[in-house]
Structure 1
Amino acid sequence: MSVTQRVSLLFFVLLGAVACNRDDVTPALPLTGVLYESNFSAGTDGWKADFTDYSTANGDMQLRSDWTRLPQPLDSTRRSIMLSGMNRSDDLFMYLTRSLSGLQPNHDYKLVFDIELASQYATNSFGIGGSPGGSVYVKAGASSTEPKRQLVDDFYEINLDKGNQAEGGKDMLVLGNIGAGEDVEQYTLIKRSNTDAPLTVRSDSNGRIWLIVGTDSGHEGLTTLYYSHIKVTAL
C-alpha cells in the first residue's frame, strides 16, 4: 500500500470515528426513570406550539406563543414557554409537542408527566361559558403519531384522541385545571401531574414517541399561560 493510500485510509477511519461521536446521535434512554426534563432555561428545547378546536369563521383568536421570562411577580430570571389565545370557539386547545427518541422500539411505556406552569386564574372565578380557572383543563399525553393540526371542512382539529375539555382521550389524560387557588389575582406557579393514572404509550419501530402537553378550554375569554418545567418519567 502506497503512502498516499495509507493516508487516505487513515482519513476515512478518523472521519468515521468523528461521525460516531456526533452530537446528533440519539443516546439510548432507560426503560424506567426520567426520560425527559427541561426548565427551558436555554430555549424551547424542541417544543413546538400549535392551536386547534376552532373554526376559520371564529375571527381573530389572538393566538400567540413565545419563549420568554416568567411574568411578575414571579422570578423573572427564569424562562418559560408562553401560550395565549382568545377562546372564541368555546373549545380552544393550546398545546406544545416534541419528539422523544432513543426509546426501545415497539415497547410499551407507562408515563407520568409533572408539569409546572404559571397561571393567574382563580379556581372559583366566574367567566363567559365557564370559569377562567376551573374550566380550562391541563392535559398531557404521548403517541407514536406526530400530533398535527388538520383542517376538516372549516374546523381546525388535532389528529389525536385528546378527549374534550374535562374528559381525556386515548392519547391524553386530564391532569387538573389551571385554577391557581381561591381569589388569586396574580401569576402563581402551579403543578399538575398524573402520578395516580400513568399513560401507556407504545414507541414506534424507530424507538420514538411524541410528547404533548396543553390546555383544553371551556372559558370563552383570553387565557395566557407560561410553562416553566416539564418532566416525563417511565414507571
Structure 2
Amino acid sequence: MKSMQVKGLAIGMWQQVVNHSKSTGRKAIWGIGAVLTLGMVSCDTTDDNVGPNFIHTSDFNKGNENWEAGLTDFSTPQDSIMEFSSKITALPTDSLKKGFMLTSHNRSDDAFMYLKRKLTGLAPNQTYDITFEVELASKYPENGVGVGGSPGGAVYLKAGASGIEPQKVKDSTNAQHWTLNWDKGNQSSGGKNAIVLGTVGIEGETYKYQIIKRTNQSKAFSAKTNDKGELWLLVGTDSGFEGITTLYYTKVKAVLLKATL
C-alpha cells in the first residue's frame, strides 16, 4: 500500500510539473528530477516483479523468503560426515527474532556453504551493476586460532549473481568431488560470478554471537540476466577453517542498477 501511495504522489507531482512547466521553464526540470527520484523509491520492494532498477531485500525473520541452502566443495565419500544442516530458527543474539541458520563441519578444508534465490521479471539479457549488503550473526574472532586457519579470518563471505542457477555438481575432472557450476573463486579470491565481501570474523577474542554486516559498496560487480529476465542471487562462505561453522543470516539486500555502456 505504501508503494502505491508513493507512486500516486509521483503521478500527481508529474501532472503539476507538466502544467506548471509552461510558465516556470528551468524550474520544471528540477520538478521532473524529484518525480524520478520518487519513482526509484517506489521500486524498493521484496517482490519478484521489480523492473529494471530496484532494491531487493530478504528478511529471514519472516521466513526463508524463497532462498534454498546448499553445501559443496568436498569429496563424495565425505557426504555423510560434513554435518550440514539449515533451518529458520531463533537468533542467538535475540530469541524473539529469527534467521536462516547454516552449519557444517569443514572436513575438506574448502567447504562452501551457501544460500541461493531466483529473481524474475527483469529485463532479458541485461547486465546489472549490483551492490550487496549481507547481515548475519557470527561468533568467530577474526584472529582466532583454528585447524587450517582462523574460524573467523579464514572463512570468507561471498555474494554473487548469474542468469544460470547455481548448482552442486560433480567436478568434470574428478567424479568424486562436489563443486559449484559457477566461477565463485576459491576462498579469499572471488570469481566471475561472485565477489568477496570480507570474512565472518568479529573483533576481540570472545566467542559470542553478534550481528555483522558486509558489503561490496566499494567494489564493482555486475551480472547478466538470462533470456527470460531471470537472475539468481547467491550468498555463502568459502571456508579454510577445518571445524564447525554455524552462522545465522538475518538479511540480504541487493541493489540492481541497469548497466550503461
TM-score bin (small chain): 0.7 to 0.9
Q: CA RMSD in A?
A: 1.2
Name the CA distance, whole Å, in 2 between partners of 1:144 and 1:184.
41
Structure 2 residue 109 is matched with structure 1 residue 117: no
Q: CA deviation at 1:41?
A: 2.3
1:8 matched residue in structure 2 = none
2:57 matched residue in structure 1 = 37
Name the CA distance, whole Å, in 1 between partners of 2:155 and 2:205.
16
2:206 to 180, 184, 195: 184
Deviations 1:9-48 (A, max 9, x none): xxxxxxxxxxxxxxxxx864233331x1021122101100
Name the CA distance, whole Å, in 2 between partners of 1:37 and 1:57.
37
Structure 2 residue 224 is matched with structure 1 residue 205: no
Indicate if the aligned counterparts of 1:163 and 1:169 stay in contact, CA closer than 8 A. Answer: yes
Structure 2 residue 72 is matched with structure 1 residue 52: yes
Q: Secondary structure at the match of 2:71?
A: strand
Structure 2 residue 162 is matched with structure 1 residue 143: yes
Indicate if the aligned counterparts of 2:161 and 2:232 stay in contact, CA closer than 8 A. Answer: yes
Structure with greater contact order relative to length (CA < 8 Å, sep ≥ 6): 1
2:89 to 65, 68, 80: 68
Name the CA distance, whole Å, in 2 between partners of 1:144 and 1:38.
19
Q: CA deviation at 1:197?
A: 1.3
Instruction: Please list every run of 5 or more consecutive structure 2 residues that lacks an aligned counterpart in the other structure.
Output: 1-46
Indicate if the aligned counterparts of 2:158 and 2:237 stay in contact, CA closer than 8 A. Answer: yes
Structure 2 residue 100 is matched with structure 1 residue 81: yes
Deviations 1:152-176 (A, max 9, x none): 3111101000000000000000000
Indicate if the aligned counterparts of 1:180 and 1:189 stay in contact, CA closer than 8 A. Answer: no
Deviations 1:95-138 (A, max 9, x none): 00010011111111000110000000001101000000000000
Indicate if the aligned counterparts of 1:39 and 1:79 stay in contact, CA closer than 8 A. Answer: no
Q: CA deviation at 1:184?
A: 2.9
Q: Secondary structure at the match of 1:225?
A: strand
The structure with more helix, counted as a fraction of residues: 2
Q: CA deviation at 1:56?
A: 1.8
Q: Secondary structure at the match of 1:57?
A: helix
Indicate if the aligned counterparts of 2:134 and 2:252 stay in contact, CA closer than 8 A. Answer: yes
Name the CA distance, whole Å, in 2 between partners of 1:206 and 1:109.
15
Name the CA distance, whole Å, in 2 between partners of 1:27 and 1:234.
13
Q: Secondary structure at the match of 1:45?
A: coil
1:233 matched residue in structure 2 = 255
> Identity of counterpart residues, as a percentage?
45
1:163 matched residue in structure 2 = 185
Q: Secondary structure at the match of 1:150?
A: strand
Indicate if the aligned counterparts of 2:106 and 2:242 stay in contact, CA closer than 8 A. Answer: yes
Q: Secondary structure at the match of 1:154?
A: strand
TM-score between both structures, scaled by the size of structure 1: 0.85
Q: CA deviation at 1:57?
A: 2.5
